[in-house]
Structure formats: C-alpha cells, structure tokens
Amino acid sequence: MTTGSKKKLKLSPCAVDESGNVTVDDGASFELMLNPSSYSHSYSIGYNHKEAIGQLGSDAKFSGIKPEKVSFDIVIDGTGVVEVADSASSDVKDQVKKLTDVVYKYDGNNHEPNHVRIIWGNLLFFGRLESLSVEYTLFKPSGEPLRAKVKLAFSGFMSKEEEALRANRSSPDLSHLVEFKAGDTLPLLCYRIYKDSSYYPEVARINNITDFRDIRPGSRLHFPPLR
C-alpha cells in the first residue's frame, strides 16, 4: 500500500492480561521525530549441550526458540530544523521523558515496565525494553540539550496463546486463510483475528494488496501468525 505521507516509527504501550491478551494504548504512543536510518532484527535458537566424561563430542539438543530482538538508534532534535506536529514539543528533555514514559517507566499496578508495540513500515514487533542509553550531543549556551542520540534495544514478547499455537505447529489457528466477503474490510478482519485492526498494512503487504479499500469479494487472504 502506498500513501503520500511519510510514516514515522511509533512505539505504543501495551497491557497484557492474565490470559496473555494484548491491548494497545495508541493514545499514549510515542512517534519519532526522525526515523532510524536502520534497525536490527535478530533471531536465535537455544540448545542444551551435555557432555559425558571421556566423550569426544556432544549432540546439541533443541531447548527452545529464544525471544527475537530488535534494536535501533534514533536522533531527537530540538534545534527547530526538524518539523514537529503542532501538539508536540521540540524540547529534547520533554521528548526523552515521553519516550521513557512509554518504554521504560515502571508500572506500579503491574509491577513491571510496559510491554511495547513497535510499528514502522513492514516491522511489527511486540516486546519489552532491554536497554536504553541517551547521549546528548549539542547544547544551548545555558547547557540545555539541543540534540540527543538514543540507543534502544527490545526483547520480543509472545502471548501465552501464541506460544501454545507455535508449540503445536499443526494448529489451524496458527495461520489463517480467510475468504473476503461483501461488507468485510481488511482492518475489520484484522481485528477479528488479531484483536487489533492496526495490522492491516502488514497483511496487505503479505497478500500483495496495493489498495486495501479495493478487495474483491471471494478473494482469499492469508493472515500470518503475529511476531
């Protein structure tokens, strides 16, 4: 799907209930001033290595899929060179605080930091912050920062429901094939399947849909498992 506006990477806090259901709070999202120039998305598998005395080698036994990792660097600029939304503050300290409120702030009700959804282009990732570092690089004569470089690293989160589905690869709920009917919309189908309509750009890309508003009834759409 192609639009005329440039999409900004967005980080949104999420609430996860005891059943593992995820609710995204889009109203408290943090949208970047400048998109990262790159990001890293890594995957790893865990193995157990048990060696007996005198054994020349050991067979690596699969122990599990480790959480995916996403990391990227961003720049927060308060010089006025970068345009910001009318309601947004260009003050660097304010922007850093808003960012940490989303990804780092301790939630006293749940006794842990927020789960976070990261969405940008084809990237759709749920996780929690592993590390955050801020380097201030430009200052006013008063010492107030005008620019900051922020390094962020996240570890992936998987709901209990998805974890159970992935453990049972034969489950028909792991991946959905849905026939598009009259009256359906792609955001509505995403809400029915994922409980979140904001997945529609990723589903449109996977199904090679250029205009999600123009889908013919009878079309069969693939809805992949979430990350």
Query: What are the tens digits of pLDDT across the range 45-54?
Result: 888 766 656 5
Task: Specify the pLDDT at position 137.
Answer: 93
Q: How far apart are CA 208 and CA 210, in angstroms?
A: 6
Query: What pLDDT digit, counting tens, does each position of 128-187 carry?
Result: 999 999 999 999 999 999 999 999 999 987 655 555 555 554 444 546 678 898 889 999
Provide the mean pLDDT of the chain: 81
Sign, Cα dihedral of 84, 87, 91, 97: negative
Under the banding of pLDDT at 50, 70 and 90, the label for residue 218 is: confident
Mean pLDDT (whole number) for 194-222:
87
Alpha-carbon distances of 123 from 35, 39, 67, 105, 226, rounded to whole Å: 13, 10, 16, 23, 11
Architecture category of domain 175-227 in CATH: Roll (3.10)
Q: Bigger pLDDT: 173 or 21?
A: 21
Q: How far is CA 17 from CA 28, 112, 159, 161, in A?
A: 18, 13, 10, 12
pLDDT at 46: 81
Tokens for 63, please give them. 């122990």
Write down the residue that tokens 């996977």 correspond to: 206
- Helix, strand, or coil (residue 2): coil
Q: Where are the domains of the chain?
A: 10-49+59-168, 175-227
What pLDDT does 1 receive?
42
What one-character-per-residue DSSP string does 93-150 give? HHHHHHHHHHHT-EETTTTEEPEEEEEETTEEEEEEEEEEEEEEEEE-TTS-EEEEEE
Q: How far apart are CA 150 and CA 182, in angstroms?
A: 46
Q: What is the pLDDT of residue 226?
A: 58
Tell me what the mean pLDDT of segment 203-225 comes to.
87
- 74-84 pLDDT per residue, tens: 999 999 888 76
CB atoms under 10 Å from CB of 127, counted, come to 22
Q: Which of 71, 34, 37 is nearest to 152 (CA)?
A: 71
**Per-residue pLDDT band at 99 (split at 50, 70, 90):** very high
- What's the pLDDT at 171? 47
